[in-house]
Structure 1
Amino acid sequence: MVISVSLVLLVGIVMFLMIRSGKLKGGPALVAILFGFLLASTDMAPDIQEFLNSLSRTIADIDL
C-alpha cells in the first residue's frame, strides 16, 4: 500500500509539472487520469500491480 501511494504521488507530481511546463495540456491529462481509473477496474489491475511491485523490489535491491 505504501508503494502504491508513493507511486501515485510521484506520478501526480510529474503530471503536474508537465502540465505546468506546457508539455502536457489539461485535456490529455484528464484522459490519462480517466484511463488510469478505468484500467484499475479491469482484470489487468492485479498484473499491473504485481509488475510495479517487482519493479520496485528490483530498484530497491540495486546497491550503489
Structure 2
Amino acid sequence: MAITVSLVALFGLVLYFLLRAGNLGYGSALTAAGFGFFLASTGAARPINQLTESLIQAASNL
C-alpha cells in the first residue's frame, strides 16, 4: 500500500506540472492513465466513485 500511495503522489505531481507547463501530448496522457490506475487502488477510489455516481444521478434529474 505504501508503494501505491507514493506512485499516486508521483504521478499526480508529474501530471500537475505537465498540465501547468502546457505540455499536453502522449507523455501526459500516459501519466494521467498511470495516475488513474494507481489512484483506483487506494482508499480514495470509493469516495470518488460515490461522488461520480451522485453527480450523474443529479444531472439526470435536471
Q: Tell me, yes or no, whether TM beats 0.5.
A: yes
Q: Structure 1: give runs of 5+ residues left out of the alignment.
A: 1-22
Match of 2:49 in 1: 49
Match of 2:17 in 1: none
TM-score in terms of structure 1 length: 0.60
Structure 1 position 50, deviation (Å): 0.2
TM-score in terms of structure 2 length: 0.62
**Count of residue pairs brought into register by the alignment:** 40
> What is the RMSD computed on CA atoms of the aligned residues?
1.2
Q: Quick one: which amino acid aligns to residue 38 of structure 2?
A: L
Q: Which runs of 4+ in 1 moved over 6 A?
A: none
The separation in 1 between residues aligned to 2:25 and 2:32, in whole angstroms, is: 11
Alpha-carbon deviations, 1:27-52, whole Å to 9, x = none? 00000000000000000000000000
Percent sequence identity over aligned pairs = 40
Match of 1:38 in 2: 38
